[in-house]
Amino acid sequence: MELSPTRSWSLSNCMRSLSPEFSPQDLAAQTIQCAYRQHLARVEHNKRVREKQDYEEAMDRLQREAFVAMVKREQEIAERERQKEEMERQRKREEQECKTRMLEGAFEGDLDEILAVLKEVYRVPFDEIGRVVRQRHEMGMVECTDAHGNTPLSEAAGGGHPPLIRFLIEKGANPNSKGGYGRTPLYRAAFSGHLAAVEILLQLGADPRIYADDGNRPEEVGSTDSVINVLQGWDLTTTDTMLHKMEAVKEKRLQMEQQQRQKEAAKLQDQVSELTKEAVRSQKEVIQWRAYAELNKRMNEHDKCERDNMGKTAITLQAIHDAEAVLEVARATATTTQEKLSVAKMELREKQQEDSSSLPMKGINCNIRELDDVLLKDVGNKIRNDGRWPLIIDPSGQAAVFLRYLDTNYVNALNPNQMQPSVLRINLLGAIRFGKMLVIDMMEVNLMEVVTRMMEQIQTALMDELLNKQLLQNDRYLSLIRAGDGPEYSPMEFSPVRAEKFKFLLITKVQNLPDEMLSTFYPIHIVINNSGR
């Protein structure tokens, strides 16, 4: 075999380093050993180079996929916002058309047109909530104004239409509202000389003591003597009584609107609660846990058939495909439920905070390149001072790849074999023994209940002790040791110094997590910048 100069030099050095008392056979054996060790070193080097390349390629692929997914989500959000804005513009156009018809019909005394406009806003359900909504829409039309602030009642008074004046006031119109130049409906009726309109306004609570911007009262601008006489002879105690009644009616209407807002918020909250339960059901073991378990089982059966040359690989492959199809359906159901839940939460936020488009996100944000400083180095001791274990929320999946390549005890919560209590116990015990991080990756499912249940099967109240860190105090973790664990897990092998370096971490791709879970852990949201890296 022809050797390269580098190899020849290495072998010659190796030969010269040997003692002269070795036999030729020994020298040949040692030469072969040197060459073989060099070969092993090159193989290991190439393996590590490939692993690094695979890691970088996986990270780049995940970053690209995450960026594409983020862009798609932003496009969907932008499309929803565009549709919402278009619907709002359409609603405002229709509302403005209704207001114009309402004001023109009021000035002309067209009661049929007024009724038609009010009926057009009745496009809501005929239940208790719908009744209040219709009343609110009706009040919006009855109290609408033109560019000068004149209401339909003011227009009806200016046009002199008593039946319409009564109708509007009975519908909740304010008889003392000020329009253009501070003129009330009574002022305009008196100025135009409409005696019947003046009388009906006075009877229904119009106050003749209100001054306009020109400093005149209605009786001072009356265009006929009969109008002036009626205004001057009017009993103001009747007006005060009517004003008190109108104030009571207004207060009652405000209370009804407040109750209506509370009912609407409660209804949205119920919808969010139901969707949250549905999301939990779609993600719990009943669907995805079993789907993953079934897929894992079929894959193990297929591997066993290949190892044993049983000749049934076609059957097992078909079983794997069937399990993958079931899993894909479960994933699609969970994704759809999550989208519905996100929309419902958005509507609830808009209802609860009309002046704010969103609520502050719990936890902190960082990109994948900052995770080393935020999670591992804990720059600023943010996590240590907080006292809670971290929870990484990463829809892209980059954090899981990052942590798998570190020296951590990584557990895939969707793998039933890795979630066996005995396996989970050894992973937890080993992480404490060697001062490592125990990472439980729940992937695209919220399996917090499953993780808790498996911990409870290991030891009663183990999850609570792990979360409040009592497990790490006074060597309580030694209770996890079992007789067959081997000498490396004997109590003498555990060190408090290494135990202090232990960390517990959960990872999930699910973004809509329960508030209780976000309060129990220290949330770290992985964000993707615009470059996709």
DSSP string, 420-432: SHHHHHHHHHHHH
- Look at residue 8 and tell me whether its pLDDT is greater than 60: no
If you classify domain 364-526 with CATH, what class do you get?
alpha beta
Q: Please tell me the distance from the alpha carbon of residue 342 to that of residue 347, in angstroms, as a whole number.
A: 9
> What pLDDT does residue 246 have?
83
Pinpoint the residues of the chain covered by CATH 1.10.287.
258-354
Q: Which of 92-101, 199-208, 283-292, 398-407 has the lowest mean pLDDT?
A: 283-292
Q: Which of 341-350, 394-403, 507-516 has the lowest mean pLDDT?
A: 341-350
Q: Which of 320-329, 365-374, 468-477 has the lowest mean pLDDT?
A: 320-329
Name the pLDDT band for 153 (thresholds 50, 70, 90): very high
Q: Please tell me the distance from the alpha carbon of residue 100 to that of residue 110, in angstroms, as a whole number.
A: 13
Please say whether the beta carbons of 526 and 396 come within 8 A. Answer: yes
Tell me which CATH code domain 258-354 carries: 1.10.287
- Look at residue 184 and tell me whether its pLDDT is greater than 90: yes
Q: How far is C-alpha 419 from the geometric centre of its chain's CA atoms?
A: 28
What percentage of the chain has pLDDT greater than the value 70?
Answer: 74
> What pLDDT does residue 455 have?
92
Residues in the chain: 533
Tell me which CATH code domain 31-234 carries: 1.25.40.20
User: Residue 210: left if φ>0, alpha if ψ -120 to 50, beta else—which one?
Assistant: beta
> What pLDDT does residue 447 have?
83
- Look at residue 428 and tell me whether its pLDDT is greater than 50: yes
**Mean pLDDT, the chain, whole residue set:** 80
- Look at residue 526 and tell me whether its pLDDT is greater than 50: yes
> What pLDDT does residue 360 have?
42
Q: Which of 44-48, 103-107, 301-305 has the lowest mean pLDDT?
A: 301-305
pLDDT one-digit tens code per residue, 440-452: 998 887 888 889 9
> What pLDDT does residue 286 have?
41
- Look at residue 284 and tell me whether its pLDDT is greater than 80: no
b/e burial code for range 257-296 (CB count within 10 A of at least 16 → b): eeebeeebeeebeebbeebbebbbebbbbebbbebbbbbb
Pinpoint the residues of the chain covered by CATH 3.40.50.
364-526
- Look at residue 361 and tell me whether its pLDDT is greater than 60: no
Looking at residue 36, the DSSP 8-state letter turns out to be H
- Look at residue 3 and tell me whether its pLDDT is greater than 50: no
- Look at residue 195 and tell me whether its pLDDT is greater than 70: yes
Q: Please tell me the distance from the alpha carbon of residue 119 to that of residue 116, in angstroms, as a whole number.
A: 5
pLDDT one-digit tens code per residue, 19-44: 557 788 888 888 899 999 999 999 99
> What pLDDT does residue 263 have?
72
Half-sphere exposure of 441 (CA within 13 A, CB side): 19
- Look at residue 160 and tell me whether its pLDDT is greater than 60: yes
- Look at residue 1 and tell me whether its pLDDT is greater than 60: no
Total Cβ atoms within 10 A of residue 141: 21
Is the pTM higher than 0.75? The answer reads no
> What pLDDT does residue 478 have?
92
> What pLDDT does residue 277 have?
64
Q: Please tell me the distance from the alpha carbon of residue 41 to that of residue 384, in angstroms, as a whole number.
A: 41
Q: Which of 314-323, 431-440, 490-499 has the lowest mean pLDDT?
A: 314-323
Name the pLDDT band for 515 (thresholds 50, 70, 90): confident
> What pLDDT does residue 306 have?
64
> What pLDDT does residue 300 have?
67
pLDDT top residue among 73 and 264: 73
SS3 57: helix
> What pLDDT does residue 479 have?
92
- Look at residue 9 and tell me whether its pLDDT is greater than 70: no
- Residue 526 structure tokens: 């992985």
Name the pLDDT band for 355 (thresholds 50, 70, 90): very low
- Look at residue 431 and tell me whether its pLDDT is greater than 90: yes
- Look at residue 121 and tell me whether its pLDDT is greater than 80: no
Please say whether the beta carbons of 142 and 171 come within 8 A. Answer: yes
Name the pLDDT band for 531 (thresholds 50, 70, 90): very low
pLDDT top residue among 253 and 513: 513
Q: Please tell me the distance from the alpha carbon of residue 529 to that of residue 139, in angstroms, as a whole number.
A: 48
What are the two backbone dihedrals, phi and then psi, of residue 503, each rounded to the nearest 5 degrees?
-135, 145
Q: Tell me the mean pLDDT in the region 258-282.
A: 66
- Look at residue 2 and tell me whether its pLDDT is greater than 50: no
